[in-house]
Every structure is written in structure tokens, then in C-alpha cells.
Structure 1
Amino acid sequence: MRKRRSLFKILSLFFAFALLAVACGDSGSDSDATGTTATTAADSGGGGGDTASTTTAATAPSTTNTPITEAETGPTYGGTLVVATEAEAAGWAPWQDPCSAPCVNVHRALYDQLLELNADGQIVGYAAEGIEPNADLTEWTLTLRDGIKFHDGTDLTADTVVEAYDMFQKDGAITSGIYGAAGVTSVEKVDDMTVKYVLSSGNAGFPDILTGVAGRIFSVEAAKADPEGFSANPVGSGPFVFGTWDRDNKLTLTRNPDYWRTDPDGNQLPYLDELIFRPIPDETTRLQSVIAGDVDVAQTLRQSTIRDAKAEGDSLNLLLFQGNNSGGAIFNVLEPPVDDVRVRQGLAWAMDQDLLIDILGGKGISDKASQFFSPDSPWFSQKVADMFPNNDVTKAIPLLQEYVDDPARSDGKAPGDPIEVEFNCPPDPSLIQLSQGYQQLWEGTGLVKVNLNQVEQAAHISNAVGSPDTDPPFRGDFMINCWRVGGQGDPAAILGPAFAPVEASPVNFTNFFDPAMFDLLNQAKATADFDTRYGLYEEVMTILAEQVPVVYTGYTATALITRPNVEGIGGWHVPNGDLGQGFPNAEGRYVEAFLTEG
């Protein structure tokens, strides 16, 4: 029984991070799974309070991003907003149902967060007034905001948070891995409105997870009454109440008349009477729906759709976001020939990111990537950007040739034989073209043969994690996978599990482990001093640039495409009056959305 429970915990951890680093070079994933992508981060309803001043990687916008600004006109009440998303969700229970970017749009309307990110990337209070650590960062004390009620009339109290963790989140298919990776050992009640999170070791990035799914509050009474049925009939405390759900067709939410928040001018929130979500998987159909006025907002994680929406001119508004999430490929460093750093470096030097971005329709939209952090992140390193190998075939060929001529080459082939690699990617049309781009570039060296394999998404992810019965466990069953890396969160939440010891972390998909680098990661996690942490993470990214377990296609551009009469999505507020983080990864917040005439 103990072995089965341990395996469940491991798989839960994998599942949470698979949502973050899910396969695909162009399609999106849930950065929200570990907080606001791995990260996973007052006053209308009470006193506002910032948390311990924690900064994440979601900061000032790049030239690609739409600025976060308040609505140009005053709000109007009433009306129905229809949002088209790229996919349906399996269910709506935060602790057990996977929730990628389309689902997060719904979650943010149904549920309140304990903590949230403001437009400057600081973690601030939302349903909680704030959070404070002890001296060694092993205990974090959270003060809840008074007067918040769930849609069933029950109150948010410390008991709610403790019971949610003990009865649901601690063992939930999604939240178990998130809390486990953060080192949470218990959640304890201090008084009626205060809880304490106890960690196994210091973790400066802990508040980050409470800005995402692990910090999404729900009615424990409703969950206890019907744990299985909660997925189809969720009860939160957010601005909208769950109405009717016609799966794969239409989800209707209605205005919460008793919502605890007002806007900065004292107007009761939300403004809309009704919020409808319609899953429309086909990109062209979804875009045409907003062009035709059948829907008001269309969500996209595709550069090519953004390109086509831009071509419509002023008839549409685009809320563009490009953060730390990037598409690329991961190498299984336990698998010859990519177990040899010369091969990985050679393949990296042979890549042309401009060409690959163009293939995805992202020319002029997506930027080239060199690391887990984008240029507008406080963790970005220009030193790493300058050193990462890319687009110089004259440097690729000597490295690859050296391996080809090595009589002790790891793939067991004879000296002089070409290098042969397997490149796997889901059978999406744009990803097939992307795979062919990789093939063209790598075979262009004259030293590499690339076999392309189309693998369905579920199998693609399963192959990356592998089996607990292999040696080492979860070593994966692939050589090179197209993949997605990074996220809008604290580096401790993203890099630590991704490069932990292979046998201890099924989300170390590359199987790359460097003891010295892991020590740097642990040092960075244990201090709250930004300059110290920055230096340590720069050392980590330097090692990754040298060892190349990951290569990058480019940062991922996302967008919410709206009709001109839609306001308030691009500039909502947190309870202390700050502007919120906007629309990361095409994840909208509709608490201040409204419709103008026209």
C-alpha cells in the first residue's frame, strides 16, 4: 500500500508539471499548473496588504506585449460576454482536474486566488490580505480577508484552507505534486482567519504556488458533500457563479450578486450579467467566430492565428502576451547519441530560430529564446543569451564531425557513420512543418540523419515520463521531443524539479542532472535576497547553455482577440488598487470586463 501511495505522489507531481512543460512547439499549456506557470505567485472588501515582497518572472511588457492599462471608458452594467476557447476541460475541480490555459479562463471567473500577481510582477494579497515568512523561510503565515463568502453561502475561514489541503489538495491529482514540490508538510490553523504553511526546508519561492491552482479557494462543504460531483458542479467564491454546462458546446456562468469586491471607484463587481464559454478547437473557426461577431473574445496560443487576426486591422483588438514560456525540444541525455554533449551542442549550433519561428507563423510576433526567462523577466541573463549556441553551422560541423570520427562514440556505430536521431512531435499540421524545419537544418550539416515520428499528444507526454520500472525510474522512452519549457513563475518552482536527481523527479524529462548545479538551485531556493538568487540562477542557466539539454524555437506569443466593444480585460485590479498581471498566456480575468455600445 505504501509503495502504491508513493507512486501516486510521484505521478501527481509529474502530472502537475506535465501541464507546465507539455509537448508542442506552438500550442499552449498550463503555466498555471504550478502557479502561474510553474510559478505558480486591497481595497474594496477590506484592508489591502501586500505579501512579503516577492517578485516573479512576470514583469514589464516587452515590445510584443500589449500594455496593461485601465479601460478608456467608464464601466457599464449588464450584458453577456461570449468567450471562445481552444479546448474543453474534463472538469472544474481545482485539486483533481487538469486545467490548461482555456480552462484557466473559466477558473478565474469561478474561483478567487489566495494571492495574485500585480502588473509589476509582485505577489500581492487577493482573497488573503498577505503572507509573511519566518526567518529561515520554512514557515509562511497567511492572513485571510474577512467577509468572503462562497456561492453556497459558507464563509472563507482558516478552517476552509486547512480542510481543503487535508481532505483534497494534499492527495489531489493536480495539487498533490505542486505542494509536494514546494516542500509543504502541513497547513495549520493559527486563528479563525490565519493559517500557517509548514515546509520541509526553506523556500523563497513558496508564495508563487498560491497565485495558481494550489491557491484557488473552493467551498469545502460542497466538496465534502459530493467530491466526485464537484467537477461538474463547482462552487467557488469568484465574481461568477456556475450555471449550466453542455459539455463540448457551452458553459454559462451568471453574475455573483453578493461578490465581495468593488472596483477602485467603489462600483460593485462584476459588471456583466452573464459569461459564456464556448470551446472551438479549430483555430480558423474560432478566429472567424470573433470576426463575424458570433463570439466577443477568442483565445489563441498560436502565432499563425495572431498573424491572421492582425491582418483584420482595427476591426479586432489583440491583447498580446509573450512571457517566459518557449517552444523547442528536449534531449533525453541518457539516450545515445544525444547523451554526448558534442552532439547536443552541434545540433544547437545548427538551428536557425528565425526560420523555425517563420514556419510557425511567428515572424514579427515571437522572439528568439536562449534560456528559461524572457528579456523582460528580472531573471533574464544577457550573458547566457550571448553564449547560447544557435545558428552557426561552422561551429556545428566540427563538433558533430568529432563525434562521427570517435571510435568510442556512444551510439556504437562505426567511425564515419552518420549520426542518426529520432525526433518526435504531435501530428498537428504546424508541428509537422516545424519538425521538418528541424530535419532540414540538422541534415543540412551533412552529418546527421533525422527520423521524424508523429506521436499523439497523450503518448508523447507518457513517453517523456516513462515507466517506474526502468533503470533509473522514469527515464523516458524517447530521444528528442518537441516540447515546451519555462513559465511565469519563481525559478525555484520551475528549475528545481526540472533538474532534480533523475530517480527522484519524474518531471526531469531531459534526465540531465549536475550535482553542482543542483546545489546552486538549492542555495537559491533557501534565500530571499534577489541579488544572491539572481547570481545563482545565472550560474545555473550558464551550465544549461553549455550542456544543452534543451534547445529553443522561440518564446510563445499568445493572445485574447476581442471585438472593439469589449473593455476591462486588459486592465483589471487587485484588491489593493494595483493593476493586475493582465492576460498572461491568453488567460483572461473577467471581473472588470464590460461591453460598450457598438
Structure 2
Amino acid sequence: MGAPWKRTLASVGLVGVLLGSAACGGGGDEESAGPAQEGTVDDVSEQGDPVTGGTIDVGLEAETNSWLPGEGSFGNPGLAVAYSIYDPLMKRTEEGDVKPYLAESMEPNEDLTRWTLKLRPDIQFHDGTPLNAQALKSNFDDYLTTATSNVGATLKGVSMEVVDDLTVEYVLEEPNAAFPDVLTLAPGWPFSPTAAAEFGPDAGSNPVGTGPFQFVSWQRDNALEVERNENYWRDGLPYLDGITFRPIPDEDTRLASLESGDIQAMQSLRQSTIARARDLEGVDNYEYLGNNSGGSLLNTSRPPFDDVRVRQALAYAIDQEELIEVLGGTGMVPPASQYFSPDSPFYSEEADEAFPGFDPERAQELYDEYINDPERSDGKPVGTPISFTYNCPPDPSLNELSQLYQAFWSALGIEVELNAVEQAAHIQNAIARDYDAACFRFSSERDPYYIFDDAFTEGPLNFTDYTDPVIDEQLEVLRSTTDLEERQAAVEEISLHLSENVPNLFTGYTLTDIAVQEELKNVDGWEFPDGTAGDGVPGATAMWGEVWLAE
């Protein structure tokens, strides 16, 4: 069983990076979400003792393009698969600390510019080749930091030196207190360089890691199959014989597949689906409320969103509670106002109070001030209504959400055209900044330095194209100190700035769920090798090596 705080949806610890997966959701804290948990989260079935054997099918919300770190786009569905094949060098504890997992230790020098990582001995990749310092070096040089790597920006200014057979040093051009967080995700998933070289361009379709399960086959958009790693370095694990991961993008179909028994587990980040999953007989729900939230991107590189008055007007015009109701999150989640949930040590009450609340009169004042300004940024004649296109994937609940946004903004006199865009194209449009406004998700459980560095400095994940010296200055603080109070103060300064300048809008925090048939046990109860409790199921992702099927 997982720790009690997971049952009540509390999420603590360092938090982080902007996620490029399109959708909108809601979330909530322990106090406000508590009543909604009754009869659901606290009633997970009796777990019993571990059992070895059996196979399961897991329904995912989407397919992933590649399984090779540095090439794959590992959103929530990809992460759900990745931790079965790969072991992360570092992982997060239930207290939110980043701690060695596959690594044995990781220590910085005094000025935080060199991080020495030591591997555990006698660990092999699935192909029988050794996990050693040279393997990490090959991963780093030949794949993770190449011109085509999608994690290259994260590793910019970082090099690696081999110290001995099991030890490497990450050498940073500048101090970075948050660097260990990088190794919880794809840059910290060792893979066999021998296999990657052998498969060449097809390496992303033939992943070889050190994880509890090894790759068997992949039929794109249909099924990825893994089987037990008989030589796994953690004695007694995994419990299952195998897993088949199935992308089932339609929420209704995925839920029906769980209810019928076609799959034994499913992930969801949609509040309406989670509400229905709670009502299913014989189903356990492993829910998690972290920092991920739904909302809207505003492209500040284009008029009229280059003017703060317009961005503020859009924020004041929306009733977040109505948006959350459309998404099925009423009673489950509160409105969001920043990149951190009320459970996070980086949540700011001041930023929450500063974020524009529902105030149609103030929204109208700001809108009228802009359209009647002879120097308005879009160059249109005084009094001409603003017009723009709002993009969102063609999901029924998101269609309804988009229509509600349209109604709020049309009430001001804005002409809003709705545009349904398939999710893959939606993400690419955000990266290319080829949109006016768009629904999206923000934040995760990573360190705040990486959340804000990705989202608000030059780079591919700055989807709003918003930057500011205030953010840059506070990022320097986050990068250069491990002192929690100093880091909290820096985060608050950034959050207050964003509340005033609103480069993006929020609906609510996103409650996530892994819903399982009740014979599937220990979904959120994973532990580190030394017995330290892990962080459960953030973002509807699990450590499948410690899950078992009851007899």
C-alpha cells in the first residue's frame, strides 16, 4: 500500500517542467478535495501479500512516437511505458526529494558545478551488456546531446567525464542546484549503446534498458508488449510475467474496456472520466493531484496578445468554476492560479490572490481600453473588435470547453473562431508558435527551475514566447542555491509576475487516475531499493515492477 498522503491526494516536493500535451483539466488540494474522495480513494481494496505471475493489459491515452531517450516524446502515456523498460538513475520520494534509484549515489561539489554519480555494480542491460560509466558516456555523447536530440536543450552546458568503471561526473558550465531532477526523466534512463548502435534508425522501435521488463514487440497504435526481465537487479522483482500497453485515445472506449475486463488498468487525465471510474464496481482508483493544470496558451508574439491589457481582459472574463464543471471536475478540484498546487511548498497565496479572478466589468474596461487605443498593437482602426482563433483537440468535453471560452470572450465583443486540431498537430503548432490561443496543460512534479526555464526563456518549450528580466533574475536564484526558503521566495516572485502579466490562463488543477480491476495490487506502493517510499503515481504513471495480480 502507498503512503496515506497519496490516498488524500497531497503532493509535496520540488516541482516542475511544462508538459507539451494538449488538454485541460482540474485538480485540488487535500482539504478542498477531501469530501469528494469519500467512497473512492480511501476505499482501495485490501492489498494482501505479493504474488508472482500473470499478465495484464494497460490502456493508455495516446501512442508515443519512439521509445529511445532523446528521440521519444515521453508525455504521460510514454512515461507509463518507459518505467517498465528503463530504470531512472534518480527518482522522487514521497517527501518530494530527488534520490538515487538505479544510481548508488550522486553528490555535488561545493559550487554545484560538478555532480558525481556512482552506479550500482553488476547491473546488465536486457541484451546482457554491462551498465557502466562508458555506457552512460555513450548515451550522453552519441544520443542525448546530439543536434537532433529532444533533450539537448535540457543538457545544454553540460558535459560528462568518466572517472572509473562505475563513476561519471556531470560537468556544468554554471552552478545548478536542480540538476539531479534532470536524471529522473529521459536523460537519466540508461539504455544499451550496443543495441542502439545495432538497430540504428530503428533503435526507437527496439528499446533495451535495465528495467524490470524487457521489450518483446510493438505494433504502433495497437500494442507494445514487454515480458519479465529474469536477470533484474532487484531480487524478487518484477512480480508480473508481462504487460501489454494499448493506446486507446477515446476516453469512453478506454473506460468501457476496463469495465468489460479487456484491460486490467487504464490511465486518465480527464476529470469526467475519473468521476465515472469512481462509480465502477470492482475497480480501484489510484488518484494523484500534483501541479499539472489545464488552461490556455496565449501567443504573446502576435497581436493582440502582445498587449497585457488583452491578456488580462481574457483572464478576468472567464469563470473558472464553470470551466471546471464542463470538464467534470466540480467538487473534485479547485481553480488554478499558478504552476504549483496548494499542496506544493512552492505554492504562493499572494500569487493566488493576484491572479485575475472572474470580473466581467474589469474585463470589459480593459478590452475597451485596448480597442479604443489609437496605438493598439494589431494596427486596426479604433473600435474594431478583436478577432482570433482558439485551437483545441476534437474531444467532446474539450469542444464544450472551447465553446464556453468563446461565450465568455464574445460577451466582451471579441470574435472568436474555434478550430479543432488533432493532438499531435496541436503540440507541433505550440512548438512552432503557429496559433493565436490554445487549450493546453501546464507544469508537473519537477523542480521549479526547470518549469520556468523551459516555459519562459528562449527555447522550444516557451510556447507563449513570453520572457522577462524578472523571471531571468529569479531563475538565477533557483539555479544557484539549495536553500528552500530562498528558492520559495524566488518562485513567489516569478508567480506574482505571471499573475500580473498572464501569458497563459488557467482552469483547474488536473486530477489524474490509474483505474484498475481490484485484483491488480500495489499500483502506487513502490519503494526505492533501500525501502524508502516512492512518490506514487504522478501523472497516472506507475512503477510496474512492483505491481502484482492477486490470486
Shared fold by TM > 0.5?
Answer: yes
Once the two structures are TM-superposed, the CA of residue 62 in structure 1 deviates from its matched residue by: 7.0
Letter aligned with residue 114 of structure 1: L
Letter aligned with residue 477 of structure 1: D
Please tell me whether the aligned partners of residues 86 and 279 of structure 1 are also in contact (alpha carbons under 8 angstroms).
Answer: yes
Provide the secondary structure at the position in 2 that maps to 1:167: helix
Partner residue of 1:25? 24
Provide the secondary structure at the position in 2 that maps to 1:168: helix
- RMSD of aligned residue pairs (Cα, Å): 2.6
Provide the secondary structure at the position in 2 that maps to 1:411: coil
Once the two structures are TM-superposed, the CA of residue 214 in structure 1 deviates from its matched residue by: 1.0
Please tell me whether the aligned partners of residues 292 and 441 of structure 2 are also in contact (alpha carbons under 8 angstroms).
Answer: yes
Once the two structures are TM-superposed, the CA of residue 486 in structure 1 deviates from its matched residue by: 1.2
- Check 1:458–1:253 CA distance in 2 against 1; reply closer, same or farther (3 A cut): closer
Partner residue of 2:376? 409
Partner residue of 1:47? none
Map Cα deviations across residues 479-532 of structure 1 (whole Å, 9 max, x no partner). Answer: 2122222121011111013211xxx42322212221232122122212221111
Structure 1: distance between partners of 2:82 and 2:31: 25
Q: How many residues of Structure 1 are paired with residues of Structure 2 in the alignment?
A: 531
Structure 2: distance between partners of 1:513 and 1:397: 26
Letter aligned with residue 394 of structure 1: E
Please tell me whether the aligned partners of residues 242 and 253 of structure 1 are also in contact (alpha carbons under 8 angstroms).
Answer: yes
Match of 1:437 among 395, 404, 415: 404
Partner residue of 2:50? 75
Partner residue of 1:297? 265
- Check 1:60–1:296 CA distance in 2 against 1; reply closer, same or farther (3 A cut): farther
Match of 1:316 among 283, 286, 291: 283
Match of 1:226 among 181, 199, 221: 199
Partner residue of 1:4? none
Please tell me whether the aligned partners of residues 69 and 571 of structure 1 are also in contact (alpha carbons under 8 angstroms).
Answer: no
Letter aligned with residue 247 of structure 2: P
Please tell me whether the aligned partners of residues 351 and 438 of structure 1 are also in contact (alpha carbons under 8 angstroms).
Answer: yes
Partner residue of 2:509? 555
Map Cα deviations across residues 451-487 of structure 1 (whole Å, 9 max, x no partner). Answer: 2222333443333333xxxxxxxxx332212222212
- Check 1:544–1:342 CA distance in 2 against 1; reply closer, same or farther (3 A cut): same
Partner residue of 1:594? 548
Once the two structures are TM-superposed, the CA of residue 397 in structure 1 deviates from its matched residue by: 2.0
Partner residue of 2:105? 130
Worse-matched range after superposition: 186-195 or 419-428: 419-428
Match of 1:462 among 425, 428, 444: 428
Provide the secondary structure at the position in 2 that maps to 1:441: helix
Once the two structures are TM-superposed, the CA of residue 213 in structure 1 deviates from its matched residue by: 1.1
- Check 1:19–1:191 CA distance in 2 against 1; reply closer, same or farther (3 A cut): same
Please tell me whether the aligned partners of residues 296 and 437 of structure 2 are also in contact (alpha carbons under 8 angstroms).
Answer: yes
Structure 2: distance between partners of 1:87 and 1:306: 17
Structure 2: distance between partners of 1:412 and 1:273: 64
Partner residue of 1:217? 190
- Check 1:179–1:136 CA distance in 2 against 1; reply closer, same or farther (3 A cut): farther
Provide the secondary structure at the position in 2 that maps to 1:328: strand
- Check 1:86–1:477 CA distance in 2 against 1; reply closer, same or farther (3 A cut): closer
Partner residue of 2:134? 159
Please tell me whether the aligned partners of residues 182 and 199 of structure 1 are also in contact (alpha carbons under 8 angstroms).
Answer: no
Partner residue of 2:445? 488
Provide the secondary structure at the position in 2 that maps to 1:228: helix
- Check 1:463–1:90 CA distance in 2 against 1; reply closer, same or farther (3 A cut): closer
Provide the secondary structure at the position in 2 that maps to 1:489: coil
Please tell me whether the aligned partners of residues 296 and 563 of structure 1 are also in contact (alpha carbons under 8 angstroms).
Answer: yes
Structure 2: distance between partners of 1:111 and 1:517: 34
Partner residue of 2:3? none
Partner residue of 1:180? 153
Partner residue of 1:48? none
Please tell me whether the aligned partners of residues 270 and 592 of structure 1 are also in contact (alpha carbons under 8 angstroms).
Answer: yes
Match of 1:273 among 220, 232, 241: 241
Structure 1: distance between partners of 2:389 and 2:247: 34
Match of 2:232 among 259, 270, 280: 259
Letter aligned with residue 247 of structure 1: R
Structure 1: distance between partners of 2:33 and 2:127: 42
Please tell me whether the aligned partners of residues 523 and 536 of structure 1 are also in contact (alpha carbons under 8 angstroms).
Answer: yes
1:101 aligns with 2:69: no
Once the two structures are TM-superposed, the CA of residue 408 in structure 1 deviates from its matched residue by: 2.2
Tell me which stretches of 4 or more aligned residues in structure 1 moved more than 6 Å.
58-62, 67-71
Please tell me whether the aligned partners of residues 568 and 590 of structure 1 are also in contact (alpha carbons under 8 angstroms).
Answer: no
Partner residue of 2:5? none
Q: Name which structure has the greater RCO, CA cutoff 8 Å, separation 6+.
A: 2
Provide the secondary structure at the position in 2 that maps to 1:84: strand
Once the two structures are TM-superposed, the CA of residue 27 in structure 1 deviates from its matched residue by: 11
Partner residue of 2:518? 564
How does 1:193-592 map onto structure 2 within 5 Å?
193-262=166-235, 268-312=236-280, 314-445=281-412, 447-466=413-432, 476-500=433-457, 504-592=458-546
Structure 2: distance between partners of 1:593 and 1:463: 37
Worse-matched range after superposition: 64-73 or 541-550: 64-73
Please tell me whether the aligned partners of residues 70 and 150 of structure 2 are also in contact (alpha carbons under 8 angstroms).
Answer: no
- Check 1:228–1:407 CA distance in 2 against 1; reply closer, same or farther (3 A cut): closer
Structure 1: distance between partners of 2:253 and 2:147: 35
Structure 2: distance between partners of 1:169 and 1:281: 29
Structure 2: distance between partners of 1:397 and 1:18: 34
Structure 2: distance between partners of 1:364 and 1:254: 40
| Identical pairs, percent | 43
Once the two structures are TM-superposed, the CA of residue 403 in structure 1 deviates from its matched residue by: 1.8
Please tell me whether the aligned partners of residues 288 and 537 of structure 2 are also in contact (alpha carbons under 8 angstroms).
Answer: yes
Structure 2: distance between partners of 1:142 and 1:525: 19
Structure 1: distance between partners of 2:44 and 2:233: 23
How does 1:38-117 map onto structure 2 within 5 Å?
63=34, 72-117=47-92
Once the two structures are TM-superposed, the CA of residue 177 in structure 1 deviates from its matched residue by: 4.4
TM normalised by structure 1 equals 0.84
Letter aligned with residue 165 of structure 2: D
Structure 2: distance between partners of 1:130 and 1:59: 33
Structure 2: distance between partners of 1:85 and 1:505: 29
